[in-house]
Structure 1
Amino acid sequence: METTIDFRLIRQLWMFLAVAEEQHFGRAAKRLNMSQPPLTEQIKVLEQSLNLRLFERSRQGTKLSPAGAAILPAVRQFAGQAERLEQVVREIASGQSGVLRIGAITSSMLDIVPSLLSALRKSYPQVTMLVQEIDTVEGMPSLERGDLDLALVRLDGDEDYGMATMPLTEERLAVALPKDHVQAMESRVKIRALADEQFVMSARQVNPLYFDRLTAICRSHGFSPRVLREVRSIASQIAYVSCGQGVALVPASTQRLAPDNVVFRLLRERIMVRTAALAWNPHRHHPLVDFAVSWLGSRHKVGAAKP
């Protein structure tokens, strides 16, 4: 079925957004570099085509109608996507061959992402790579919307996330302790010895499965962790430990983030956790994603990709 882009509708939606945000036709017209009468006329045409009344007009001013308020979030999302499209077009027009958007949790930005970017630049010197820090919980929705092409997140378990995933790294669990903690004298710490401690944990809202996995590990060893703080990153966990605000169960490699007054001790029990996984949308083909999946898959052998 052949479709065409209704550029008039797109322009009218931009006008609607301007009026909705300015709450004044005159200010919206100035923002759009046009006079007010044509703006008013185009909003009327939009209302007729949608069969909706979008604004309530009175002597006190202009405000959104219930219907206008209902469509505003979707129009704002459209506007953001249009701006991203415009950016891509400008980059391609200037001689660049493509754009890859990568979202990553903090720990992956410290190890996996730099080497991946280096490999991409070597093979695709004209590509533009945009990296942003995300929480695990943001990864899948951003991939589904098309805001990201790749997400490096922490996926502990074999849940069906609706995206293609590939485990990358798995590490032994350690405990971060204040340097003067009694357990800091031990070469390895039994997890049961932490039963009376206050814990700084990665927030459940950031990564529910990982939070539940750590609490389940504690319960399997006879105690429920007393969570004093829930934070958004491993770096924050270590910072709170540094301030004497508890202990933290963290991957062993994050010892490189520790200040002098924090020590890491492996748990005596060999407990492994997945620390990074690659996720991408299999319904959105991107040749640079194919390269990244192949390159990372050849260097990390934790598990097979899951479609």
Structure 2
Amino acid sequence: MVGDEDPTARQLRLLLTLADELHFGHAATRLHLTQPALSQQIRSLEHRLGVQLFERSSRRVELTPEGQALLPFARKVIDAMADLRNTVRRSTLGSDNLTFGLSENATVLAATNSALSMLRELHPTLNISIRVVDFVERTIMLEKGEIDAAFVYLPVSDDLCAQPLTTEPRVVCVSTSDPLADRHSVRLHELASHQVVGLAPEVSQAERSFWAVDPRLDGSAVSYTTHQVTKCEALLSAVSFDRAIAFVPAVTAELYPRPNIRYLPVQDVPPCTFGLAWPASAREKPQIAMLEDMCHRLRRRGVPTGTMQSPGVPQHAVRRNVRRGQRTAGSPRV
């Protein structure tokens, strides 16, 4: 190596993030850095190692062969550092206990089960408890400390921190009596006259707005039903009986097939993200650090979408194919 000092663990984390994104702006955003600061750190790492790790141009960022060869070793170092921290935490805590809240549909998602499996793999002594909760119970139990974290669809309220796991399309569900029910897909403006099923007021404004696609792209007002829904089953019942609509994750069509409901792709609605959330006030707890570490590792490994019976393509593979221009026709950008 050219430099006298070994690379720091922080520099290796920056390397892995940039290698994942292959975009200085996106990587800097994930790392909460400015682009110049990230560029400086990468140049410092290259100087210490005596090799160029990235080919940079005004259009693209690519790993050099030397950079590609270094990635497995960088991951080993970062994982070893995480194992060291986790060992110290376990010895400090004596025993690890984590209680998760999740809705009934999340219990069969491949991402949920992959996350729990990795936690058990990384922390064999971890005591994991599961509480099945609805949209409102989840928030209340997080506030009271009755659960440590929750598997949720983002966004979440401002007093929660979150880590993403997977991304999937949103679809709209309509009653079979709706004139749109025979369509293969719809656009958002075609739903302007439909009422959206109302969620309970205890659900955060960020969540209610996201799942109603409110505001609409054209600025049109969104009309809500008087329902105060707290569960997915009640949401679907309101659609089937009251001719309202609801935007839901695409996996809902597999989990809740109903003869009186149709699930339609919406061509101009952004996707939704599934992940883990916990109170911002608990971020310094050792158990939460375990969760953040697990989420980072799982994303590097690749998180499957869909259910346990029909898992989809790991997210990192989708991102890689998008960068290389190998998107299949109609596949969503991630």
Decide which of 168, 191, 198 is 1:201's aligned counterpart: 198
For residues 202 and 166 of structure 1, do their structure 2 counterparts lie closer, same or farther at Cα, with a shift above 3 Å needed? Answer: same
Map of 2:223 onto structure 1:
225
SS at match of 2:203: coil
Map of 1:151 onto structure 2:
150
Contact 1:177–1:262 (8 Å) recurs in 2:
yes
Map of 1:109 onto structure 2:
107
Give the CA deviation at 1:292: 3.3
For residues 238 and 255 of structure 1, do their structure 2 counterparts lie closer, same or farther at Cα, with a shift above 3 Å needed? Answer: same
Query: In structure 2, how many angstroms separate the alpha carbons of the residues matched to 1:200 and 1:194?
Result: 13
Map of 1:237 onto structure 2:
235
Query: In structure 2, how many angstroms separate the alpha carbons of the residues matched to 1:229 and 1:140?
Result: 19
Contact 2:187–2:268 (8 Å) recurs in 1:
yes
- Given residue 206 of structure 2, which amino acid in structure 1 is its aligned partner? L
Contact 1:136–1:154 (8 Å) recurs in 2:
no
For residues 276 and 107 of structure 1, do their structure 2 counterparts lie closer, same or farther at Cα, with a shift above 3 Å needed? Answer: farther
Contact 2:174–2:243 (8 Å) recurs in 1:
no
Give the CA deviation at 1:113: 2.6
If each structure's strand is expressed as a fraction of its own residues, which one has the higher value? Answer: 1
Map of 2:291 onto structure 1:
289
Contact 2:154–2:207 (8 Å) recurs in 1:
yes
- Pairwise mapping of residues 223-302 of structure 1 onto structure 2 (< 5 A)? 223-256=221-254, 257-279=256-278, 281-286=282-287, 288-289=290-291, 292-298=294-300, 299-300=302-303
- TM-score relative to the length of structure 1: 0.55
Map of 1:28 onto structure 2:
none
Give the CA deviation at 1:188: 1.0
Give the CA deviation at 1:136: 5.4
Contact 1:199–1:225 (8 Å) recurs in 2:
yes
Query: In structure 2, how many angstroms separate the alpha carbons of the residues matched to 1:125 and 1:285?
Result: 16
For residues 151 and 296 of structure 1, do their structure 2 counterparts lie closer, same or farther at Cα, with a shift above 3 Å needed? Answer: farther
- Given residue 227 of structure 2, which amino acid in structure 1 is its aligned partner? R
Query: In structure 1, how many angstroms separate the alpha carbons of the residues matched to 2:215 and 2:257?
Result: 24
Give the CA deviation at 1:142: 4.6
Query: Is it true that 1:118 corresponds to 2:117 in the alignment?
Result: yes
SS at match of 1:279: strand
For residues 279 and 297 of structure 1, do their structure 2 counterparts lie closer, same or farther at Cα, with a shift above 3 Å needed? Answer: farther
Contact 1:171–1:274 (8 Å) recurs in 2:
yes
Map of 1:191 onto structure 2:
188
SS at match of 2:106: helix
Map of 1:181 onto structure 2:
178
Query: In structure 2, how many angstroms separate the alpha carbons of the residues matched to 1:244 and 1:268?
Result: 24
SS at match of 1:166: strand
Give the CA deviation at 1:219: 6.8
Q: What CA deviation, in whole Å up to 9, does each residue of 1:78-97 have, x standing for no partner?
A: xxxxxxxxxxxxxxxxxx95
For residues 259 and 282 of structure 1, do their structure 2 counterparts lie closer, same or farther at Cα, with a shift above 3 Å needed? Answer: same
Map of 1:24 onto structure 2:
none
Runs of 5+ in structure 2 lacking a partner?
Answer: 1-93, 304-314, 320-334
- Given residue 261 of structure 2, which amino acid in structure 1 is its aligned partner? V
SS at match of 1:217: coil
For residues 185 and 144 of structure 1, do their structure 2 counterparts lie closer, same or farther at Cα, with a shift above 3 Å needed? Answer: closer
Give the CA deviation at 1:211: 0.9
- Superposed CA RMSD in Å reads 3.4
Contact 2:239–2:245 (8 Å) recurs in 1:
yes
Identity of aligned residues (%): 21
Query: In structure 1, how many angstroms separate the alpha carbons of the residues matched to 2:144 and 2:252?
Result: 31
Moved more, 189-198 or 103-112: 103-112
Runs of 5+ in structure 1 lacking a partner?
Answer: 1-95
Contact 1:173–1:270 (8 Å) recurs in 2:
yes
Give the CA deviation at 1:205: 1.8
